[in-house]
Chains A and B, each alone.
Chain A
Amino acid sequence: QVQLVQSGAEVKKPGASVKVSCNASGYTFTSYYLHWVRQAPGQGLEWMGVLNPNSGTTGWAQKFQGRITMTRDTSTSTVYMELSSLRSEDTAVYYCARGLYGGNRGEFDYWGQGTLVTVSS
């Protein structure tokens, strides 16, 4: 069965970076895009970016320009999302989610369990 398993919770200081991993299993890793979506406490969902595991190409929301880096390791079917220059507003649960498309269409059919990132001095 399809599974997306994320790394554990992180506590970071303002200005630091965080790197969250998402290990995929149960399907052909390079056949689906992997998106990142975050949810601040008590808030809604916010799309951050997407990675094509086949080519390594990425796209992101303008809001995260210059702060987000997404990479992958095809040998372990793992994708990584690094967010830099953290501020308190980045405190959120970060999800990876699988999608058949990475451009301007498509749904997210499987989600990771989420990784809580807390930014606090």
Chain B
Amino acid sequence: QSVLTQPPSVSGAPGQRVTISCTGGSSNIGAGYDVHWYQQLPGAAPKLLIYVNNNRPSGIPDRFSGSKSGTSASLAISGLQTEDEADYYCQSYDSSLSTYVFGPGTMVSVL
């Protein structure tokens, strides 16, 4: 089991806003390590979606946004679209484990 926790799934209707939480602890997010988010479409490699808490790489729509506070981070998807159906993973670093860590992933479904 991961030191980062995420809800197994979230869902929303097209056009709605959904949020995915990523909760850690004092040795990872709470220690000040940055949080990054990845989108993994079915059968594809992960793709960087948000880096350093709230930054979007070139080409990522501004419908995707990230935030971080205390021992948690969140990914928000506004104006939900069918092509957003994917698994989403948060990632950080854990000083106790001395390793990069990923959350277990959240499946986003568009109703």
Binding site for B on A (CB under 8 A): 35, 37, 44-47, 61-62, 95, 97, 104-114
Contacts and interface: CB of A to CB of B under 8 A. Distances in A.
Contact of A45 (B46, B47, B98): B46
Interface stretch (B11-19, B68-76, B100-108): B100-108
Contact of A44 (B47, B52, B100, B103): B103
A107 B45 contact: no
Contact of B89 (A45, A95, A110): A45
Nearest to A47: B100
Given A104-B93, A105-B93, A109-B51, A47 B45 contact: no
B48 A113 contact: no
A2 to B, nearest CB: 11
A80 to B, nearest CB: 19
B105 A44 contact: yes
Contact of B100 (A35, A109, A111, A113): A35
A111 B89 contact: no
A109 B46 contact: no
A113 B45 contact: yes
Interface in B28-44: 33-34, 36, 38
B46 A44 contact: no
B102 A108 contact: no
Nearest to A111: B45
A44 B36 contact: no
29 contacts: A37-B46, A44-B2, A44-B103, A44-B104, A44-B105, A45-B46, A45-B89, A45-B102, A47-B99, A61-B97, A62-B98, A62-B99, A95-B45, A97-B46, A104-B93, A104-B98, A105-B33, A105-B34, A106-B34, A107-B51, A107-B52, A107-B91, A108-B36, A109-B51, A109-B57, A111-B45, A111-B46, A112-B45, A113-B45
B101 A95 contact: no
A10 B70 CA distance: 43
